[in-house]
Structure 1
Amino acid sequence: MPTINVQMFEGRTLEQKRAFVQAVTEATCKSLGCAPGSVDIIIQDVSRDNWATGGRLWSEPAPEA
């Protein structure tokens, strides 16, 4: 049973999440040859205050070049 963990910024709509999990489930079943009922997807919505890249929180403005 594949379990897929996805972390993304919060703010997606329920409709967007539905479309996403459907697409990921289809791709997983096609590539791994498993049944849709065996695919678990866990979505974790993360605040931009709790995500950083290159030493900068995503909630902070980008530095001026």
Structure 2
Amino acid sequence: MKLLITVGRRMSLLLNDLLDLSQLRESNIQLKLQSLHIQSAAPGVVDMLGPKVHSLYNW
């Protein structure tokens, strides 16, 4: 059951990303530059990419 929930969430995120990409291509979304505090963003990026790095390098 846990696997089904995980797969469902991943599929939902993928679908949202595809919809965003489609809207970007059609110029329905405009991106705005703004400052970013890297200290607040870095932990989220590490959490998101960590499992992929572990699987690639068998850590």
**Structure 1 length as normaliser, TM-score?**
0.31
Higher helix share: 2
Higher strand share: 1
**Structure 2 length as normaliser, TM-score?**
0.33
Higher RCO, 1 vs 2 (CA within 8 Å, ≥6 residues apart): 1
